[in-house]
Amino acid sequence: MSGGGGASRDDNGDSSTGPRFAVDTVPVAAGSADVEQPYAALGLKPEEYERIREILGRRPTSAELAMYSVMWSEHCSYKSSKVHLRQFGDKTTEQMRASLLVGIGENAGVVDIGGGWAVTYKVESHNHPSYVEPYQGAATGVGGIVRDIMSMGARPIAVMDALRFGALDHPDTARVLPAVVAGVGGYGNCLGLPNIGGEVEFDPCYQGNPLVNALCVGSMRIEDIHLASAEGAGNLVVLFGAKTGGDGIGGVSVLASESFDSSGSTKRPAVQVGDPFAEKVLIECCLELYAARVVAGIQDLGGAGLSCATSELASNGDGGMSVHLDRVPLRDASLSPEEILMSESQERMMAVVEPERLDDFMSITARWDVEATVLGQVTDGDTLQVYWGSELIVDVPPRSVAHDGPVYERPMARPAYLDAQVADSTVGLPAPEEGPELAQALLDVLASPNGCDVTWVTQQYDRYVRGNTAQAMPDDAGVVRVDEVTGRGVVISADVNPRFAQLDPYAGAQHALAESYRNVAVSGGVPTAVSDCLNFGSPEDPAVMWQFERAVSGLADGCTALGIPVTGGNVSFYNQTGDLAVHPTPLVAVLGVIEDVAARNRAGWQQPGLAVFLLGATGDDLDGSLWAQVAHQHLGGLPPPVDLEAERRLGRTVLAAGANGMLHSAHDLSEGGLAMALAEAVLRHGIGIEADLEGLCLRDGIEAFSALFSESGARALIAVAEDDVPDLVDLCAAQQQPAIRIGTTGSDSLRVEDLYDLPLSRLRAAHTGVIQRALALAASPA
Amino acid sequence: MRVGVVTFPGSLDDHDARRAVHLAGAEPVRLWHADAGLQGVEAVILPGGFSYGDYLRAGAIARFSPVMDAVIPAAQDGLPVLGICNGFQVLCESHLLPGALVRNDHQQFRCQDQTLRVESTHTAWTSGFQAGQQVVVTLKNGEGAYMADDRTLDELEEQGRVVARYVGDNPNGSRRAIAGVTNARGNVVGLMPHPEHAVESGYGPSVDGLTFFTSVLNSVVRA
């Protein structure tokens, strides 16, 4: 594995410590102001380079330049997004903050879920690496987010993945999709973390820019929260985990700061290589270290490797830090100091340890056969100093590297094409009216890449390990038990409809929030916190920047309206090939609390004779719908209006009905509308329904087509026992919740009075095997 | 009764196996791969996972760990030992059980609810079932295809040492749809599916798996 991406260089085999290179030292830099430095090749702009010189009062050494270049990259510094992300903090009220134990800015936010338990969760993108090297890109995406969660002091308890690819029938999708799924599964399965849900979507806009967003959630007792800070002069800085190699050198700045250019050179060596076994051992080792209370501060090594870990730990602490880079255990002895600082080798952590606890620390790492090395110590100075042998090669204010990167107010402009796209609504498109046409439309949607069954993906993931999974795909949200005694747990869903966000990014982000909130509530969780992963095109394009600002505003305003805080998130820019940017894809993951996961609601009914109600009102909301995509490859008009008050009401109603013990099932309505929700509910446990939509059409003033395929928000399908119908009606009336009975469960078909009667077997035949068949077709010679 | 559950580096379902032992009414005891002793336990479970990263071959390195130096002779002396998934692979690598587990024929990791038919109730771990009983447990593996030559398979069948078979589509290409086998004495059982993930209502496909763990209690008490 050695020699991954390192520059080739003769190695004289001298393994003794000390300089092996003509290193650029601080004294040398101070005395040679005019040396030309390759800042541009490292991705720094001339004015950024000048600022570094200003901060240091001299030119940076080559090692300092390496550190600044990775830490000031878009990926690490959020330089284009920072001015907008402030909204999340600004719009969070004291009341919203009540359950927040650790907020934005740490490795991941931490939420109080009651009973003395805290959970931490976060979503991160690993988009570009997953296009270049799909298996390793996706695998290390999971590995990275899991380490973020570990570094808060938590035991990781589950993962989720939201995946977006180009068209299902495109040949490159057959290259990327199976390898990404195998990578997510290969890493997560080997870590022993259940995969409890996610999304899979296909759209040509992701052809050259697939999105791989990985979520991890972890739990801990509140008193076990750990933070990334290096405090207390004399405390030791310990690097532990895997050895450092040449993989992922410059991955951060090279891969995340440039769009793909078809004429560009291949960037394969820049993708990191993962070893899930090493990470599994690291997890157990860290948890034992935490339990033994020998860790004063902890930080994972991810993007920007040691540059990030040292500068963040030091800048969050109360003094400086001094480390000896030549002590870093290497897989590749030929690595230069700059490369060691930038390496993104996986499965590494950095801890701050009090000297008197070091022996205990080392005996625990030894027990797990984890290599641990004291690199240096916390100092009472105010700079981060890095030595190579006896030479001082870095001497910088740590904050200037970690937190005071450049901040840009990039120009924004509403995209020129948007007026025409919004004007091009679905009104006037041929739509089905009669029963057989509506039945065919449903079968087409069910068999479409974005409406089909995704078991081919989810069956490659272990959803059972650790034995606490109460619910996973294909139900609406993942539900995991945290407390094995009381059953207290969390409910999580990650959602976005990028087609809505393309038409109106403000509304699109709120729809993502609303759908995730709805999924959590209908599954029985009280929505408590929000995390996000904002995937966009190039921030240097004013149209993309406008989309980004609108989406952030929409999400921040939406969170205020729903009364739940954003706990953290991730921004991924430059998801763009040439002029083609991905649809704005603000993935939102709402986390809910459930006192006993046994009380969760299933998405499908499990017995005949139940009364089925549709909660919420339906309008003629077909723009941006799955039907428009499947029937007409159409994307235009405006997304459904967002009504967050209605979402709150729906959530309250479903949770109240659940608390009364009357819910046999609850399923959210989203893509594909009621037609899709009914089909999913009957297929879930193989029990059909006799439905009648006449009352619904009359009440809402709509035709059968809209009743079936409209994607209006704030709706859910619930099933209750016949005896409970009066109570449910009373409860809905008290909540002012629109509710109408649309049918009774039973039989083995999906029957809608006067429209269609489709046997479950026919629905299932249309719905399943779609992905397998497409991949098999792509694999077979034409 | 005390039942040891071994943790190798890379073991994943050890926590679940301990929970299953507890729910069955026994006391789970943690056994560490690097420790030579068995702490006087009356049965041992080798749990699922990817011991030592499954480098080289699944189970191939774990077989040489210090704890196995104690498990192997004890198993030969009649100590009840259950190997689940990776544990089954370790038992085959240790030659406590015949055959080998190879990559699934479809080349993918597969996680699904799986119906099994319990073929033999003459083992320490299946005595609580009815012969021919169908149960639903979790299946999750990448290298779960059971392989042995025809002579060995015939011998296993003749001696009633096929413990369980997959019902319905063969999920991984196992020969003769074999999901688990036992040794001649019936104290050592290897199972590719995961009974420990079917012991608690609401957290798995069923509670059918619990019987594997209650069986061993009864067989030890009887013995």
* Interchain CB distance below 8 Å, B10 and A280: yes
CB contact under 8 A, B111 and A597: no
Task: Please report, for residues A419, A469, B23, the alpha-carbon distance to residue A678 in angstroms, rounded to integers and kept in the order given.
Answer: 35, 25, 38
The crossing angle, in degrees rounded to 10, of helices A644-659 and A542-562 is 40
Identify whether A75 is a catalytic site residue: yes
Q: Report, as an integer, the average pLDDT of B187-196.
A: 98
pLDDT for the residue A249: 72
pLDDT per position as a tens digit, B5-37: 999 999 999 999 999 999 999 999 999 999 989
- Pairwise CA distance, residues A78 & B24, whole Å: 52
> Going by C-beta distance under 8 Å and a sequence separation of 6 or more, which residues neighbour residue A443?
A758, A762, A763, A766
Closest Cα in chain A to B111: A459
The CATH code of the domain at A22-261+271-418+496-587 is 3.90.650.10
Provide the annotated active-site residues of B.
85, 194, 196
CB contact under 8 A, A280 and B12: yes
Q: Do B140 and A368 touch (CB under 8 A)?
A: no
Distance CA A75, CA A77 (A): 6
Is A47 in a helix, a strand, or coil? helix
Q: Chunked in runs of 10, what are the mean pLDDT values of chain A (782 residues)? A: 33 41 86 89 92 96 91 89 91 88 79 96 94 93 93 95 97 95 95 96 96 98 87 94 82 42 43 86 95 93 89 91 96 88 91 97 96 96 95 95 92 96 96 97 98 97 96 93 97 98 98 98 97 96 97 97 94 92 98 95 95 98 98 98 98 96 96 98 97 98 98 98 98 98 97 97 98 88 54
How far is it, in rounded angstroms, from Cα B173 to Cα B142?
11
Give dist(CA A72, CA A74) in Å, integer.
Answer: 6
pLDDT of residue A73: 87
**What are the distances in angstroms from CA B196 to CA A615, B22, B124, B200, B209?**
39, 11, 16, 9, 6
With CA atoms as reference, report the closest residue to A449 among A173, A162, A201: A201
β-sheet bridge partners, residue A161: A198, A214
Quote the pLDDT of residue A781. 57
Give me A103's structure tokens: 């907020």
Residues contacting A79, CB < 8 A, separation 6+: A72, A405, A406, A407, A408
When computed from its CA atoms, the radius of gyration of chain A, rounded to whole angstroms, is: 27
Is the minimum CB–CB distance between A532 and chain B shorter than 8 Å?
no
Read off the amino acid at residue A174: A
* CATH number for the domain running over A419-495+588-777: 3.90.650.10
Contact between A335 and A5 (Cβ < 8 Å): no
Report yes or no: A537 and A127 within 8 Å, Cβ to Cβ.
no
Chain A contact for B65 (CB, 8 A cutoff): no
CATH label of the domain that carries residue B131: 3.40.50.880
Tell if the CB–CB gap between B203 and A459 is shorter than 8 Å.
no
Question: Is the CB of A471 inside 8 Å of chain B's CB atoms?
Answer: no
Contacting residues of A for B194, CB less than 8 Å apart:
464
Alpha carbons A646 and A424: distance in angstroms, whole number? 28
Give the mean pLDDT of B63-86.
96
Measured between beta carbons, the chain A residues lying within 8 angstroms of B52 are: 277
Per this entry, what is the length of chain B?
Answer: 223
Q: How far is CA A62 from CA A31, A66, A338, in A?
A: 14, 6, 7
Partner-chain contact A275 B53, CB within 8 Å: yes
Facing B200 at nearest CB: one of A182, A277, A467: A467
B143 at interface of A, judged by CB pairs closer than 8 A: no
Number of H helices, E strands in chain A: 28, 28
R_g of chain B, CA atoms, integer Å:
15
- Which residue, among A529, A535, A537, A543, has the nearest Cα to A570 in the 3D structure? A535
Q: Facing residues of A384 across strands?
A: A321, A396
> What dihedral do alpha carbons B131, B136, B141, B147 form, nearest 10°?
20
**Domain assignment of residue B116, given as a range:** 2-222
Q: Is B194 helix (H, G, I), strand (E, B) or coil?
A: strand
Task: Find the catalytic residue in A84, A126, A583, A667.
Answer: A126
Is A156 within 8 Å of A283 (Cβ atoms)?
Answer: yes
Scan for tokens 């029963």, then name that residue.
A435
CB contact under 8 A, A368 and B9: yes
**Nearest-CA distance B205 → chain A (Å):** 10
Cβ–Cβ below 8 Å for B109 and A484: no
Check if the beta carbon of residue A593 is closer than 8 Å to that of residue A600.
Answer: no
User: How far lies A624's CA from each of A501, A671, A714, in Å?
Assistant: 9, 9, 17
Could you give the residue ranges of the DSSP H alpha helices within A192-275? 256
Percent of chain B surpassing pLDDT 90: 90
Instruction: Using CB atoms, pick whichever of A275, A276, A462 lies closest to residue B140.
Output: A462
Total number of domains in chain B: 1
In DSSP terms, which residues pair with B136 in a beta bridge?
B115
| Distance between CA atoms of residues A71 and A93, nearest Å | 31
Q: B139 CA to chain A: closest CA distance, Å?
A: 9
Q: Are strands A384-388 and A749-752 parallel, antiparallel or unpaired?
A: unpaired
Give A467's contacts in chain B (Cβ within 8 Å): 15-16, 19, 196-197, 199-200, 203-204
User: A146 and chain B: CB distance < 8 Å anywhere?
Assistant: no
The pLDDT value recorded for residue A375 is 97
- pTM of whole model > 0.90? yes
Element counts in chain B: helices (H) and strands (E): 5, 11
Return the number of CB contacts < 8 Å for A and B.
Answer: 82
Q: Are A365 and A36 in contact (CB under 8 A)?
A: no
Instruction: Determine the Cα–Cα distance for residues B219 and B211; give it in Å rounded to an integer.
Output: 12
A184 to chain B, closest Cα gap in Å? 11
Q: Where are the domains of chain A?
A: 22-261+271-418+496-587, 419-495+588-777
| CA distance, residue A248 to nearest chain B CA (Å) | 22
Residues of B in contact with A464 (CB under 8 A): 111, 138, 140, 194, 197, 203-204
pLDDT at A344: 87
The Cβ of residue B178 has, within 10 Å, a number of other Cβ atoms equal to 25
3-state secondary structure of B24: coil
Asked if A463 contacts B111 with a C-beta cutoff of 8 angstroms, the reply is: yes
Distance CA A771, CA A181 (A): 12
| B111/A459 CB distance under 8 A | yes
Predicted pLDDT at A250 = 56
ipTM over 0.90: yes
pLDDT of residue A753: 96
Q: Name the token pair of A487.
A: 């059953």
Average pLDDT (B103-124) is 96
